[in-house]
Amino acid sequence: MNSFKKLLIPISKLTALNLIARILIVPRLTVPPNFIGTPGSDTLIGEQLNASPAIGIDILTGGFICTRSGNDTVKGTGTGRIGGIGGSIEGGNANGIANRGNLNTGNGKDAIAGIGNGGNGADGNTDGSTANGNGGTGTGISNISKINGGNGNDTISGTGTGGNGGFGSFLGGKGGTGTGISNSSNINAGDGNDTLIGTGTGGNGANGVGRPGGGGQGGTGTGIANSGSINAGNGNDTIAGTGTGGNGGFGRVSGRSGDGTGISNSGQLHTGDGEDTIVGIGTGRQSGSGSLGGTPGGTGTGIANSGSINAGNGNDMIVGTGTGGIGGTGPNSGNGGIGIGIANSNSLNGGDGQDTIVGTAIGGIGAEGFPNTGDGGTATGIVNTGSLNGGNGKDTIAGIGTGGMGGDKFFFGEGGTGTGIVNSGSLNAGNENDTITGTGAGGNGGASIDGLTESAGGKGGTGIGIANTGKLDTENGEDTIIGTGIGGKGGIAPGGIGDVGTGTGIQNTKDGTITTEWGNDKITGDGNSSGTNSTAYGIVNDGIIDTGNGSDKLTGQATATIGGTAYGIYGEGIIKTGNGNDQIIATSILDGVQQKVTIGGGINIALGAGNDYLKGFGAATVDGGDGFDTLDLSAFNRSELFVSRVISGTTLNANITFNSNGNSISLSTTGFEKFIFADRSFCYSSLANEA
């Protein structure tokens, strides 16, 4: 760049030049007249300040910029006018690059950058004689036509920042919307290792001054908003969007925080073949305080897809991170904002290859207040109501959700629910050795910070690893499904410690199906709840779990404390392991002691053909199927159990009953050849004779 001479060129003469390289800097570049570049490295810079709208580079309908080959740079910066200057109280809107024509940088390592800063709204007088204004919108790149980066390692970046609202005697002005890249038509980066980055930050809502005043709402922030088509082409591409909402303003009624979304896609977003990365980070901000009450914190969503996202073939990575904002304080304080890592309601496809799809979410903290305190925000790593497909290959799909903490004060908010994966659509990992993991941790309950109450602390939030009401399928291969749920701890207060939240590893509802098909598959549900009145479930199944053919292993383990409840496997549904030497293990631990009863709810288990093994006891009906099957009751001595329906020479039926504190619990079995107790073992015939 330093070797090129800076040229300040009249727009009327742009097409008449034929240079090796060109640098063009103008206050505002409006096209047409059209621009045709050189074979060398061209630079176009347009900047407009203190206007409404302010546009750095404005390509009108029918206009085009074509820089041809070379390492070209196109950069536009727009900064909106501050409200009150020039008559209008509203902050001016701004676009770095506004394209209604055609922007083509040709082959080479090209850079297209747009920066849009919305102007701040004007302040109003405290006596109400003059009004206040809202912040202007800021958009880095706005495309309603065609942008083509050509082949080469191209970078397309947009940064949009909304203006802040103006202070007012009644209502504070709203913060402006900030959008990094807004595309409703076609963006094509071409082949090569391309990077597309969008950063959007919402403006802050202003405070409302005086007794009747209300805080202004914070502006939304969106990194990439796509309702058209974005295609990164073949190569190792990166698409990244970061969205941050603006803070809400203070007032008699608090202003709500703006939501933040990293990538919002309702169109088509494709990276082509190659080892591609798609990253979305969304952060909701804090809501303002209000003398009448607070409002919830803003929602943070990493990737929100209602269209089609396809990473193409290759070892791809799709990552979404969402963080909810803090609630606003007041007499009725606001709850923490919702956090969602990846929300898919249409089609998300990792393509063939060893793909990784990860959603991470953190719920916002509930606000402190009196007399009511805000609850922690909910958090879900991956929410799928559409079709989420990892494609063929050794794929990893992981969701992590951590609920927000309840607010502290005289009274306490409850911790938010944390869920790793919520699936009510179709979640398919594809063929080969895939791994699906969900980890959910409930937020801790609020605690006393003043010691002026006799109430117990706030209840901890529920933690669920995987919650399935749809179809979850790993297809063929040696697949692994792991769900871990951890209940949030209860808050501490003079009146006692609040109840701990329930921890559930895998929850499969009545209409849900979990299928692993062919292969030696493993399903593990781990529930943990440590504290007062704890409840933990390893696997809760009211639907159908089918591990298909192969030597499969299903494990449900639950750990609870302090007089709690724990079941390794629980529910009214069906578990089928298919053909193969399968294992099902249910364990329950209370206060560090292994429990005798580990299964509940009357669940139905069919082990299929093969030499199968079941360890656990409780209210259930179990069929060992064909083969030499073993029932492990080693938590009991033989004398602790009553065995009935055992007749030598029949179809291996046995009804086993345990008297637990006056309650009879029965396990109905068919097809088991071996029974293991703590003090000895029996084959079926010897058990029949002994009975």
Tens digits of residue pLDDT in 605-653 = 999 999 999 999 999 999 999 999 999 999 999 999 999 887 766 678 9
N-terminal to C-terminal alpha carbon distance within the chain:
93
Rg (CA), the chain: 31
% of the chain surpassing 70 pLDDT: 92
Angle at 469 between CA 459 and CA 540, to 5 degrees: 55
Tell me: pLDDT of 279 over 80: yes
Paired residues of 545 in beta bridges: 514, 575
Paired residues of 604 in beta bridges: 574, 621
Q: What is the pLDDT of residue 593?
A: 94
Angle at 564 between CA 561 and CA 568, to 5 degrees: 90
Tens digits of residue pLDDT in 152-200 = 888 999 999 999 999 877 788 899 999 999 999 999 988 888 899 999 9
Q: What is the pLDDT of residue 253?
A: 76
Q: Which of 401, 350, 404, 400 is nearest to 375 (CA)?
A: 404
Tell me: pLDDT of 26 over 60: yes
Listed by start position, the domains of the chain span: 1-121+135-164+178-203+221-227, 300-306+319-325+336-346+357-366+375-386+397-403+415-424+437-444+461-472+482-488+503-508, 535-691
In one-letter notation, the amino acid at residue 162 is: G
In one-letter notation, the amino acid at residue 8 is: L
What is the phi/psi pair of residue 476, to 5°? -75, 155
Weakest mean pLDDT among 279-293, 332-346, 513-527 = 279-293
H helix or E strand, kind and range, residue 75:
strand 73-80
Tens digits of residue pLDDT in 432-441 = 888 999 999 9
Q: How many CB atoms lie within 10 A of CB 86?
A: 11
Q: How many CB atoms lie within 10 A of CB 571?
A: 26
Residues near 16 by beta carbon (within 8 Å), at least 6 away in sequence = none
Tens digits of residue pLDDT in 41-96 = 889 999 999 999 999 999 999 999 998 888 989 999 999 999 986 557 899 999 99
Q: How many CB atoms lie within 10 A of CB 410?
A: 18
Tens digits of residue pLDDT in 134-149 = 999 999 999 999 999 8
> Buried b / exposed e across 212-229, counting CB within 10 Å, b at 16+?
ebbbbbbbbbbbbbbbbb
What's the Cα-to-Cα distance from 560 to each of 127, 439, 498, 540, rounded to whole Å? 60, 17, 15, 15
Pairing of strands 599-606, 618-623: parallel
For the chain, give percent helix, strand, coil, nearest 5: 0, 45, 50
What is the phi/psi pair of residue 576, to 5°? -125, 130
% of the chain surpassing 90 pLDDT: 63
User: Rounded to an integer, what distance in angstroms lies between the CA atom of residue 624 and that of residue 611?
Assistant: 9
Q: Tokens representing 632?
A: 């492990």
Q: Which of 470, 408, 413 is nearest to 442 (CA)?
A: 413
Q: What is the pLDDT of residue 5?
A: 28
Confidence of residue 407 (pLDDT cuts 50, 70, 90): confident
Confidence of residue 213 (pLDDT cuts 50, 70, 90): low
Tell me: pLDDT of 127 over 60: no
User: Rounded to an integer, what distance in angstroms lies between the CA atom of residue 281 and that of residue 375?
Assistant: 23
Give 115-133 as a DSSP string.
Answer: EEEPPPPPPPPTTSSS---
Tens digits of residue pLDDT in 671-686 = 999 999 999 999 988 8
Q: Which of 381, 524, 535 is nearest to 462 (CA)?
A: 535
Q: What is the pLDDT of residue 14?
A: 40
User: Rounded to an integer, what distance in angstroms lies between the CA atom of residue 197 and that of residue 353?
Assistant: 24
What's the Cα-to-Cα distance from 667 to each of 618, 619, 641, 644, 659, rounded to whole Å? 6, 5, 10, 11, 12
Q: What is the pLDDT of residue 126?
A: 58
> Buried b / exposed e across 671-680, counting CB within 10 Å, b at 16+?
bbbbbebeee
Tell me: pLDDT of 4 over 70: no
What is the phi/psi pair of residue 214, to 5°? -125, 145
Contact 342/383 with Cβ under 8 angstroms?
yes
Tell me: pLDDT of 10 over 60: no
Q: Is 540 helix (H, G, I), strand (E, B) or coil?
A: strand
Angle at 620 between CA 615 and CA 624, to 5 degrees: 55
What's the Cα-to-Cα distance from 375 to each of 202, 378, 382, 418, 461, rounded to whole Å? 25, 9, 22, 13, 9
- Where do we find the tokens 């209409």? 511
Contact 117/94 with Cβ under 8 angstroms?
yes
Contact 46/28 with Cβ under 8 angstroms?
yes
pTM for this entry: 0.93
Q: Is 319 helix (H, G, I), strand (E, B) or coil?
A: strand
Q: What is the pLDDT of residue 11?
A: 38
Contact 674/631 with Cβ under 8 angstroms?
yes
